[in-house]
């Protein structure tokens, strides 16, 4: 995979009046990778996505998409991007197939190309049997698949996915993950936001975690895990906590129990009293996320 940058943000800033929602962030999305933009509600993810799509003007800093300023994107650059928005916004007045065809026309594709791609994409997203159905007759998972198919009609080099599997059942999520992995194999760049850390860990090559408009950390899922939560997590119920002084273990008090982040499990278990009740599992991205962004509830 070539290592050219598809998106480059430099000191990117967005302000609505006095409210600063993106505070000078820097990141680079390399071509052909799946790049995850993670953060709690209100972190600045959607605003960043809107700026990348050219729907929101940047206040300061720089943002280039395929080497062109996002503020004033030429049409041929816009045509290289497929967007899967958070709400499906499919066209309810027309059928599944017509939704794809209408989108093909918005990309000014010749009708022979539209017909061929629509057929392929219906296959790809397993919607062929429902192609004449009205959109409202589809299940949530099918609507999501159609929204992804629709984003692919222009054969985009980059696909932006805003929470692609929120609200879907496990079967639907697995199918979408499989197809997103296929898209990556084709060499497409994916930019993904999600609240599911297992999804991010599974799909993303690079992750940026943002909160309050600032980048908290970035790296591969593996790097983030080893940097912030080591290899394993022990959730130990109070009062049977580790015997050694608090400084020995990297820990976080979460109320009824304490989380310990450790590299050497045997060493840690030896430090626990006999009667301790604990859960033990490999550390994951969710631990990183909660450690970095805190456990306080975010309201919209």
Partner 1 sequence: MRMPESAYVLAVYHRQFVVFKKLIGSSLVSNVANPILFLFAFGFGMGSFIDTMSGMSYLTFVVAGMIAYSAAFAASFETTIGSFTRYFMQKNWDAVLSTPVTLFELLLGEVFWASAKALFSAVCVLIVGWIWGGVPLSFLPLVTLPIVFLGSICFACAGLVATAYAKGYEFFAYFFTFWVTPMFVFCGVFFDISRFPEIIQYLAWFFPMTHLVAAIRPLTAVTPLDGAAIALHICYIIVFSAASFWIAYRRLHQRLYD
Tokens of 65: 């998409």
Q: Comparing C-alpha atoms, which of 28, 1, 34 is closest to residue 193?
A: 34
**Complex with partner 1: residue 115 or 205, whichever CB lies closer:** 115
ω into 155 cis (within 30 of 0): no
**Complex with partner 1: residue 52 or 229, whichever CB lies closer:** 52
Q: What is the Cα 18 distance to its own chain's centre?
A: 28
Minimum Å gap between C-beta 207 and partner 1 is 24
**Complex with partner 1: residue 40 or 156, whichever CB lies closer:** 156
What distance in Å separates the CA atoms of residue 221 and residue 197, rounded to the nearest whole number? Answer: 10
**Complex with partner 1: residue 88 or 126, whichever CB lies closer:** 88
Reported as type and span, the H/E element at residue 91 is: none
To the nearest 10 degrees (0 to 180), the angle between helices 96-106 and 111-124 is 130
Minimum Å gap between C-beta 94 and partner 1 is 6
What SS3 state is found at 296? coil
Minimum Å gap between C-beta 142 and partner 1 is 17
- Per CB under 8 A, residues contacting partner 1 are 16, 50, 53, 55-57, 74-75, 78-79, 81, 83, 85, 87, 89-94, 98, 102-103, 105-108, 150, 154
Residues 235/278, Cβ–Cβ less than 8 Å: yes
Minimum Å gap between C-beta 13 and partner 1 is 14
- 299 phi and psi, to 5 degrees? -100, 155
**Complex with partner 1: residue 107 or 124, whichever CB lies closer:** 107
The residues, any chain, with a CB within 8 Å of residue 20's CB and separated by 6 or more, are: 13, 14, 213
Minimum Å gap between C-beta 104 and partner 1 is 9
Tokens of 200: 């991010």
Alpha carbon distances (Å) from 247 to 31, 234, 242, 251: 42, 16, 11, 9
Minimum Å gap between C-beta 212 and partner 1 is 19
**Complex with partner 1: residue 42 or 85, whichever CB lies closer:** 85
């Amino acid at each position: 995979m070539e290592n050219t940058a598809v998106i480059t943000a430099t000191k990117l800033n967005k302000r609505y009046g006095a409210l600063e929602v993106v505070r000078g962030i820097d990141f680079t999305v390399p071509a052909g990778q799946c790049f995850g933009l993670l953060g709690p509600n209100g972190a600045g993810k959607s605003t960043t996505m809107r700026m990348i799509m050219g729907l929101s003007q940047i206040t300061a800093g720089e943002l280039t998409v395929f080497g062109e300023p996002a503020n004033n994107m030429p049409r041929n650059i816009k045509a290289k991007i497929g967007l899967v928005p958070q709400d499906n916004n499919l066209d309810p007045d027309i059928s599944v197939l017509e939704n794809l065809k209408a989108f093909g026309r918005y990309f000014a594709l010749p009708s022979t190309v539209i017909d061929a791609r629509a057929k392929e994409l219906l296959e790809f997203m397993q919607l062929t049997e429902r192609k004449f159905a009205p959109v409202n007759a589809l299940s949530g998972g099918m609507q999501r698949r159609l929204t992804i198919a629709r984003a692919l009609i222009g054969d985009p080099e980059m696909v932006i996915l805003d929470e692609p599997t929120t609200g879907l059942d496990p079967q639907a999520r697995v199918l979408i993950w499989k197809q997103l992995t296929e898209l990556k194999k084709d060499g497409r760049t994916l930019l993904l936001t999600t609240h599911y850390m297992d999804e991010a860990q599974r799909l993303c090559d690079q992750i940026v975690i943002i909160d309050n408009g600032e980048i908290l950390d970035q790296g591969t899922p593996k790097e983030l895990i080893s940097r912030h939560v080591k290899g394993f997590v022990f959730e130990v119920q109070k009062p049977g906590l580790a015997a050694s002084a608090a400084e020995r273990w990297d820990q976080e008090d979460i109320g009824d129990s304490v989380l310990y982040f450790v590299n050497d499990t045997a060493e840690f278990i030896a430090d626990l009293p006999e009667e301790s009740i604990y859960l033990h599992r490999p550390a994951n991205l969710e631990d990183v996320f909660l450690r970095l962004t805190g456990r306080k509830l975010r309201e919209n």
